[in-house]
Amino acid sequence: MPLRRDTVKDAELLFHIDTALGKRLYALVFLEHGTRRLHIAGVTTHPTQDWTTQQARNLTADASARLSALRFLLRDRDAKYSTALQADDMDILTSAPQVPRMNAHCERVIRTLRTEVCDHVLILNEAHAREVLAKYQRHYNQHRPHQAREQRPPERHQQPDRAHSAIARTSLCTPVLNGLVNEYHYAA
């Protein structure tokens, strides 16, 4: 069976976030290949198999309509994922040991999270990390353009209407994460 971009869910990578107080947090990230939709499933100080299983259940409960069409799940080889992601109608693909290029899209999203958010915001605790990552996830899915999707965000299915005159239109700027990222919209 060939892998189709719209039916693969590239998942399960934990990445760490160091807080301003010296504590290490872990965030669980899922990425849908076809749409580039980002899901940050949770943040914790101690990722266990039970926690991973619960986060996967929460994600599938929230997005069951979209996830029902997925046929493959690509994950890394961590033992925390052994029973957490078993599904009858989905094939689980495991990446080769020490080969991050097998999961390149998800690795790139993690790099984006680090460079655009974690390198510029001092995270204080778990609650703060959840809040910051949730705001960035909303921005990433609703406003951030993706080259693989012809500069469309994951949640936009068609290109916006072209302006007849760029000079005649006024754009509005909405700051996200206290101005770390800005979203621009045309005024009505």
Q: Which residue has the higher pLDDT, 157 or 180?
A: 180
What are the tens digits of pLDDT across the range 93-127?
777 787 777 778 888 889 999 999 999 999 999 99
Picking from 132, 99, 101, 110, the residue whose alpha carbon sits closest to that of residue 12 is 110
Q: Look at the alpha carbons of 47, 38, 83, 15 in this order and tell me if their dihedral is positive or negative.
A: negative
Mean pLDDT value of segment 36-49: 90
What are the tens digits of pLDDT across the range 148-170?
777 788 877 666 556 555 555 67
Q: What is the DSSP letter of 107?
A: H
Classify domain 5-155 at the CATH superfamily level: Ribonuclease H-like superfamily/Ribonuclease H (3.30.420.10)
Return the H-helix or E-strand segment holding 172: strand 171-176
Give the residue extent of every domain in the chain.
Answer: 5-155
- Angstrom distances, CA of residue 176 to CA of 21, 146, 184: 24, 18, 11
pLDDT of residue 107: 86
pLDDT of residue 33: 79
